[in-house]
Structure 1
């Protein structure tokens, strides 16, 4: 009889071939099937075992794998195929500066129980299937005749260990879309408050909201208020909104988990992201350029707007969540999105004053040789100049200095006269 290797085929294909073989009376070998594995080590197939499921999500799927990996290496776990007879598999995840390999598709049998957890025979089955994390599952399988609440108690213990071992907590995460919501640790350069030159009134209003999740948290709760706050930073491009949000994140990182939300994730999975905050502890959720995916009724995708509003309301149900959103055009946002119950502070970040331009210019020239009259050059920048424009002017002066001379006042005058430091699209249409 011809043997065909179906091990790499989807479970639906292997199941169909198996059924056809049974109908034709052909001999079938289920030695590597999940049912055969469970029958050998727990004395029954899946249909005759009691299952208690532990819900997994984008914020817990890696942690669940880490917990199972500890059980495999610490105790006498017998590794078998996963759900739908999938071959046992491990997946490598990048966690900060290291790679961790964890179970992703397998059944682990503990015929003698798990020391410190249960003395009853149990199997743990994880299935991540390389798909959306929300489709992943972790099942606790026990015999139908096991003592009452055995499986439930093991599931509760696993949930506690998964929460305790979560490597994402206290880290900076990027929320993106990759076959579902994905949370990955990122190593962005930290921005300090002193690195951002903005009016002191901006920081005063920001600090008001930060106190709700820090020094005044207990008082807020005692008064019956939520400790979740929303800050909207509004202003033209290049004035430092993103830098401010990263400075807030940098100050709270460690005690808080920071989630930087990409627009694709924000428009599709924002509600799920806020649900993760219950697992990840105190959180800062950063929503850059929300006007890219949320607008006014009738002028944008109403589904995106409705989802955004629902997500902000979801945030209010969780304490210790600080939302920091930025927008270039607050007028484009629906009023329902910016009402006080959703964003407690809408802070205008204006273009820098002449004094602020001088400070940004001095900061940009720090560390390089120059003879620049900072005050004189700062006065040459027109009103409405952004911090990004000032920094680009210095960059262009450095790049145009092919003779490696100290940057001079005249060099910057030449850059400003050229005007290319302010990006502008050509007008008209190409024919």
Structure 2
């Protein structure tokens, strides 16, 4: 890049130390002073929210009571859906006025907009501007709703006139929730509108019947964010559990849900807690996914150890959108963890207390999973009645291992004799171990065929030798960590089949 000498009178010349006044400088300064004078002189002529709202309501606004409703930030799409439904009522019209100058200035309310005029406030505070919105997800496949960011709505409802201040969550402005504040020419109309919006936000809740999980925003931990997920569908043939175990789980979760009306009418409680426990890799998560897929009309809230601080919000959603299921996987991870606010009780006790706080007839199921039941037992004993049933999912027996090999061997041409040998030699392994065994055997087979020059299109033929090679590789000393993460247990423990 070439640099040249600054011309006299140019900005660069001033920057280099030459600040001698010129005629052009005086003209620029004069225009600036005139502009400031004109703006100040015409300040009273510029429309403000105070004058706009006062003209719309046609009553003195300074002392009008303000009705207010607040929601968590993740409720933004629900509040917008409620507002859209409320405005769609017959004989109800609206004018939406956008807002500028409201960001980076912290909290403010409708009372600030309609209060006594303040020259400094109205010169630098929120002012009428363009309407701005943001698209917020309402489903797992890209569904969205257009939500207002910040606006004033002038509503005419028959003989009533109302003004609403609508503000969405805005991290940059330290606003971590959604608020709607209302004033009306008839104060009772504002109160009624606030109640109607609260009810409509429940009626039109976009999370109802969906699978959601809590998380934290990337740059801020003041607010929780909800993510929406597709509902998984797990084929029952892919769930390899002993029949008695599967029946116990399904009856407690699905059976109660299917017969909720008759059970409630008979005075039986619907709230229930189920604990699935057992070693890693035996199918606890797979069982949870199957239940989620079967309860298609149930709202599912998933929590993990690092988001269990949102258990109160999760219970609130479940209570509002029942039938609901709260899933906490690996609940043992928070058995000793203290809450986020320096409390003395482990987060597990917080969870158990929230479970106890729901009404008995609430159609809410808590589904907990753990690999370390020994860590949970003292807490469950200290808080009895929260978990109604604990189901042990053990390592697969011989028959279950055979079904697992057949499942994971689909698409492969496996030597039946090799399958029998695998079943005999894998007592104490998990489903995860068998899945990896079949995958490795397939890799061994295609490499063998490639080396022999016999590889061809179509299914892979896995011989007994291929299975032996894959099993020997997994059992080798160098793969001790691999076996651990796959949930392998020493065969000396014995075959669960007896």
TM-score, normalising length: structure 2: 0.70
Q: Work out which of the two has the higher radius of gyration on C-alpha atoms and give 1 or 2.
A: 2
- Candidates 218, 222, 229, aligned match of 1:186: 229
Q: Which residue of 2 aligns with 1:364?
A: 408
Are 1:77 and 2:77 counterparts? Answer: no
Q: Which residue of 2 aligns with 1:19?
A: none
- Listed as ranges, the matches of 1:19-418 within 5 Å are 31=46, 34-42=49-57, 48-57=63-72, 60-69=75-84, 75-81=93-99, 84=108, 85=126, 88-96=131-139, 97-113=141-157, 119-131=159-171, 135-143=176-184, 145-146=185-186, 149-178=188-217, 179=221, 180-210=223-253, 213-253=256-296, 255-266=297-308, 268-295=309-336, 302-316=345-359, 319-337=362-380, 340-373=384-417, 375-400=419-444, 401-402=446-447, 403=450, 405-418=460-473
From the superposition, tell whether residues 306 and 373 of structure 1 become closer, same or farther in structure 2 (CA, over 3 Å): same
From the superposition, tell whether residues 140 and 175 of structure 1 become closer, same or farther in structure 2 (CA, over 3 Å): same
**1:233-267 C-alpha deviation (Å, 9 max, x unpaired):** 000000000000111111102x111112122221x
Q: Distance in 2 between matches of 1:221 and 1:369?
A: 52
User: What is the alpha-carbon root mean square deviation over aligned residues?
Assistant: 3.4
Q: CA deviation at 1:195?
A: 1.6
**1:240-297 C-alpha deviation (Å, 9 max, x unpaired):** 00000111111102x111112122221x111221111122221011111001112499
- Give the gaps of 5 or more residues in structure 2: 1-38, 109-125, 486-498
Bigger shift: residues 172-181 or 319-328: 172-181
Contact (CA 8 Å) 1:191, 1:247: kept in 2 or not?
yes
Q: Distance in 2 between matches of 1:243 and 1:263?
A: 18
Q: Distance in 1 between matches of 2:373 and 2:47?
A: 60
From the superposition, tell whether residues 368 and 121 of structure 1 become closer, same or farther in structure 2 (CA, over 3 Å): farther
Count, aligned residues = 392
Q: Distance in 2 between matches of 1:226 and 1:295?
A: 30
Q: Distance in 1 between matches of 2:482 and 2:379?
A: 33
Q: Distance in 2 between matches of 1:333 and 1:236?
A: 14
Q: Distance in 2 between matches of 1:193 and 1:301?
A: 43
Q: CA deviation at 1:345?
A: 0.5
Q: Distance in 2 between matches of 1:322 and 1:33?
A: 51
Query: Matched residue of 2:66: which SS?
Result: strand
Contact (CA 8 Å) 1:37, 1:80: kept in 2 or not?
no
Query: Matched residue of 2:72: which SS?
Result: coil
Contact (CA 8 Å) 2:301, 2:318: kept in 1 or not?
no
Contact (CA 8 Å) 1:229, 1:321: kept in 2 or not?
yes
TM-score, normalising length: structure 1: 0.79
Q: CA deviation at 1:358?
A: 0.9
Contact (CA 8 Å) 1:211, 1:217: kept in 2 or not?
no
Bigger shift: residues 236-245 or 134-143: 134-143
Q: CA deviation at 1:382?
A: 2.9
From the superposition, tell whether residues 120 and 199 of structure 1 become closer, same or farther in structure 2 (CA, over 3 Å): same
Q: Distance in 1 between matches of 2:292 and 2:188?
A: 43
Q: Distance in 2 between matches of 1:45 and 1:380?
A: 88
Contact (CA 8 Å) 1:38, 1:45: kept in 2 or not?
no
Q: Distance in 2 between matches of 1:134 and 1:166?
A: 22
Contact (CA 8 Å) 1:107, 1:123: kept in 2 or not?
no
Q: Which residue of 1 aligns with 2:117?
A: none
**1:107-138 C-alpha deviation (Å, 9 max, x unpaired):** 3423423xxxx541112222223349994233
Structure 1 stretches (4+) deviating beyond 6 angstroms?
25-28, 71-74
Q: CA deviation at 1:214?
A: 2.3
Contact (CA 8 Å) 1:103, 1:126: kept in 2 or not?
no
Contact (CA 8 Å) 2:337, 2:347: kept in 1 or not?
no
Query: Matched residue of 2:466: which SS?
Result: helix
Q: Distance in 2 between matches of 1:67 and 1:58?
A: 15
Query: Matched residue of 2:149: which SS?
Result: strand
- Give the gaps of 5 or more residues in structure 1: 1-24, 427-431
Q: CA deviation at 1:348?
A: 0.3
Query: Matched residue of 2:233: which SS?
Result: coil
Q: Distance in 1 between matches of 2:354 and 2:418?
A: 46
Contact (CA 8 Å) 2:162, 2:183: kept in 1 or not?
yes
Q: Distance in 1 between matches of 2:47 and 2:417?
A: 78
Bigger shift: residues 167-176 or 34-43: 34-43
From the superposition, tell whether residues 98 and 241 of structure 1 become closer, same or farther in structure 2 (CA, over 3 Å): same
